[in-house]
Amino acid sequence: MIIALNDNQEYVKAADAIKNQQFVCPGCKEKVILKSGDIKQKHFAHYAKSTCETFSENETTQHLAGKLQLAIYLQHFGDIKIEAVIPEINQRPDLLMQRGHRQIAIEYQCSPISQKKLDQRNAGYKSQNIHVIWILGNDYYVKNMTQTTILKFLMQGNLTFYLPNVEKFIHRTNFKKYDFERVSYIEKYSHQLFETVTVDDKLQINIQKQIYKLQNLLIQKRIDEKIVRYLYQRQRLLLNAPLWIHQGWHFGLSIPNWHWRMLSLLLIEYIGVGNVVHQDAFLTKLENYVLGDKEFKKQQSMSLLKELVQQKYIVQKEQYVLVKHVPLWYESIQEKLGKVRK
């Protein structure tokens, strides 16, 4: 840790501490020792056999350096405390900012953390009416992050990194996941934590490639047999489905985009032309296949609902959905590819 209490119960940064003074841990109040060396930055450490559960001793140089740099930067936005203990919840954010009557916890996450532990930390801050901002370190930045990991830290569609070696923030937003491709996003380097990134909503999907990729999966029998069987019983073939199912881009799904879109069209057919269903019932069906929290699930499902309206498959009337018409299927894949090549 990089902060401790001195004999006068004042917070002292390790960088400013004097070797022959006495220091205690702000969390457990046990004595700590000031350490410094040529490799690792000055820091405080508990003595052997310490039972402290609030402070960790395995911080990397990157984490220590990043935390100090963030503290210096954020002091322009409010009063900053480093490693301040919140006794009501026994938590210690990397930084705690007081901005007017509002408290903001800044967590600089450089190592892996489980979803359970992350949820517990967020719940603790929420119980104290403390807003939390998660900032990721270099190890997360250089990895090819999975959708699940991204969703852990995604805030209002934005993912933020801080690289202490270059003293810059990196903002990623506009996450999209085209079938058969890696997650895509817009990335911007900045000296600012609170940055607005321009969003590009232009779709760049190679429909023909999507069809051929899906065809290969069918040949390899790597498609969910349930949906293949369901369509076959209704005298339909998956590859003859409307082109719209291949235009998916939604990020954070537990199934491929084409599958999610297919299910939405089958749901429309099940409701039937001229029939009405409550919007929430429709959205609940879609949300079953979206990862993340409730807000994200609804956001993505509402986005797909909007597309269905744009395609004129459905009409929204207040809190209800009216099925206007069902999409036509192609007679053959040759006919379908012919439409793509025009």
DSSP character at residue 15: G
Instruction: Look at the alpha carbons of 231, 235, 240, 244 in this order and tell me if their dihedral is positive or negative.
Output: negative
Instruction: Identify residue 326 by its one-letter amino acid code.
Output: V
Contact 323, 271 (CB under 8 A): yes
Per-residue pLDDT of the chain in tens (342 residues, 90 and over written 9): 777 888 887 778 788 888 888 998 876 788 999 887 666 678 888 888 777 765 555 567 788 889 889 988 998 899 999 888 899 999 999 999 999 999 999 999 999 999 999 999 999 999 999 999 999 999 999 999 999 999 999 998 999 999 999 999 999 999 999 999 999 999 999 999 988 777 777 667 999 999 999 999 999 999 999 999 999 999 999 999 999 999 999 999 999 999 999 999 999 999 999 999 999 999 999 999 999 999 999 999 999 999 999 999 999 999 999 999 999 999 999 999 999 987
Helix (H), strand (E) at residue 31: strand 31-35
Statement: the pTM of the whole predicted model exceeds 0.85: no
d(CA 171, CA 141): 10
What are the structure tokens assigned to 341, written together?
């090549």
CA end-to-end distance (rounded Å), the chain: 64
**Domains (range + CATH), the chain:** 1-58 (no CATH), 59-200 (3.40.1350.10), 207-341 (1.10.10.10)
Quickly tell me which residue has 């001195």 as its tokens.
Answer: 6
Contact 228, 238 (CB under 8 A): yes
